[in-house]
Structure 1
Amino acid sequence: MKTNSIGLDSKKAEVLSAELNILLANFQVYYQNLRGLHWNIKGKRFFDLHLKFEELYNDSQLKIDLIAERILTLGGTPLHTFEDYIKNNKLFVGRDVSNDENAINLIVSSLTQLLKIERVILKQAGEALDEGTNSMMSDFIKEQEKTMWMMKAWLEEGI
C-alpha cells in the first residue's frame, strides 16, 4: 500500500479528497443561499432572521475554509470555480427568497443534503483510518443536526 505524506493510503485519500470537493461545492452553494436569505428576508421576523442568517453564513464560510484545507492536507486540490460548484451541486438554489418560512425550509432542505454528503465522507474516513477528516465530519454533523432541530422547532415541526 502506498501512503501519502500523512500516512494514509494514497488511493483512499484521493477518494476522500473527491468527496470533500463535492461537500465543498455544496457548501459554497449553501453559503450563497444564506447570503441571499440575509439580504432579501422581509417581514415581522426580519431582525431576528437577518442576524441568524448572518451567523449561519459566517459559520459556513469557516467550514468552507476547513474543507478546502483538509483537501489540501490529503494531497488534493480544492475546487474553486463557480462552474465546478454548480456541476457538483445537490442543493436547491434559492432565488429571491424573502418569506421567512420559505427561507427556513430552504435551510432545512440544504442541511438535509449536506448531512447526507457528510455521512458518506464520515464512513469513508473511518474505513481509511483518517481521523482528521472523521473528526471534522463528526463536528459538522453534530452542529448541523442541532441547527436542523432549531429550524424545525422554529417551523413548529417534529424531526
Structure 2
Amino acid sequence: MLLDYNKENVVVFDFLGKDSIRYYNEVSVEKRVFKNLQLFIQNKSTGDDLFDRLNTSVLNKHLNELMEGLTAKVFRTYNASITLQEQLNKLTDPEYTVQEKVLAYNRANRAVAILCNHQRAVPKTHTKSMENLKGKIETKRDQVEEAEKQYKSAKREAKSYGSAKNKM
C-alpha cells in the first residue's frame, strides 16, 4: 500500500494476490483515514506487511464473535452474491428476450468479477497446448509446401503434355 501525495487522500493498493494475480486500485479515503495510515506506515519498510498483527485466523475469530459462522470467506461470498443480485435487478427487465437476459447476466457477473478481482490465470496445461499447436502449424506448413510442389509438378506435366499434343 502506498499513499499518493500527489492526489488528495488517495491510497494505492498494488500487490500480488491469490495465484500471484496483481491487484491494483486507487481509493479516495477520508482525510482522517489518510492521516492514520500515514502514522501507521511511519516505522514500516518497503515490503513489510502493513497489518503485521492481523492474519486470517485473528480476523475470522473476530468475525465469528460478531456473528456465529461468519468468516472472511463467508463475507466475501455474501458480498459477491449481493452484488450479483443488485446488478441483475438493475440490468434485467422481465420483458427481455432470453438473449437479452443472458447478456444482462454476463454483465452482472462481470461486475462481481471486478469486485472480487477475479482474473483468468494461465492454465497449467498452457505450455503443452502451445507445443501441440506449434506442432500442428508445422505439420500444416509441411502439407502446404508438399501440395505446392505437387501443383507445380502437375502444371509442368500438363504444359509438356499439351505441347507434345500440339507437336503431333
Structure 2 length-normalised TM: 0.23
* Larger relative contact order (Cα-Cα within 8 Å, sequence gap ≥ 6): 1
Higher strand share: 2
Higher helix share: 1
Structure 1 length-normalised TM: 0.24
